[in-house]
A and B are shown apart, each in its own frame.
Chain A
Amino acid sequence: MKIAVCVKQVPDSWAEKKMVNGILDRENVDAVLNDLDEYAVEEALRIAEAHGGNEEGGPHTVTVISMGPERATEAVRKALSMGANDAILVTDAKLAGADALATSAVLAAVIEKGGFDLVICGTESTDARMSVVPAMLAERLNVAQLTFASKVEVDPAAKKVSITRVTEAGVDEMNAAFPCVISVVEKINEPRYPSFKGIMAAKKKSIESRDLAAVGVSVDSAWSLVADSSPRPPRAAGIKVSDDNSAEQMVSFLAEKKLI
């Protein structure tokens, strides 16, 4: 099997984020591998390992695909140190401020060229929080969409995948034939920590860098534009009580606010 994993580098969740000219200022915050994408990398490795492995010369490969600035190399390297085989990073100045439509167009072009059986994503990038890229990829690639999976079973011989999908609408059992786009929820597995050996090995693995010309798509300016953004007033410091009649004080507070 040829498995692709889409990972994004995002600002650290704890970092303070700011908008500059209508786009997220990514320059001045620490960046990390989107933690929800670690589950995607782990699941890709487990699928490969369950069917003969992705070691050099093994039957399967796991390729990391990312679109982002040059320094997204660090996030990609982390996925490689977990055990993925190689990586493609799409970097181009024209992609600054790209929206989900542009992102999915770029990723779809890379995936199409690579001819993958399975594409595995996280359910959400912790910065944009849109949860739309996997569905857009399935649409663009004209392949099956198996998203929000809490369980994935792959039959490489029959080229079939079954998943359990968990969303607010309940729990569904779904299946499809290769190729397909899968997204995995964080309950699916426990991502491994890169081992020392993994980190050393990752230094030698190939990260192929491509610009838009190499990908072969042109990206228009974003199809949705931020008109303005403004910081909201921080929550005023609240009341904090700890004495014996705190329950009664709390109820009075709720009554004053007309919440009872």
Chain B
Amino acid sequence: MNFYGTEISSPLLMGTAQYPSPAVLVDAIKGSRTEIITVSLRRETASGQGDGFWNIVKSLGCHILPNTAGCHSAQEAITTAQMARDIFGTNWIKLEVIGHADSLQPDVFGLIEAAGVLAADGFQVFPYTTDDLIVGEKLVAAGCEILMPWGAPIGSGQGLRCPDALRAMRGHFPDIPLIIDAGIGRPSHAMQAMEWG
């Protein structure tokens, strides 16, 4: 697979949240042989709490995919993406613009707006989106070379809730890497997505 000019051999991306300890995080990521891990940003305290996590992440030798989790407007996501690039030194950004506080459903209108601004600013955008084909087309037109459709709402663990829609995306965007971004609750869910290509 080719993500914005970077060859990736593992189809599995790993998050870095909700591990019981830093040691388990390291073991899980190394054991998975993933090449890409996602990270986030938080408000820092003067004690430098983010340093320990950042040192662990750097030691893993993976590509870093920062996200804009928690952003509820295009402008907020743009600013957070710029801050992420300043810290992580990568143009990759997993763009999230949240439209609904409970379901964390993406605001696809803000997403398209932010994707266009960021792509024009040199970012390589991985947009967290729905399985809507027209939204996908507009994201590609905005400069996205990858789409990240949801399998189900973030954190729900429901798996690939709309298989027909995801298969339609695969057929509609034959040359665009599709990464299922949310709703994966079991290893079998991930396997199912990978079987579809």
A, B in one complex: no
What residues make up the interface of A, taking CB atoms closer than 8 Å to B?
none
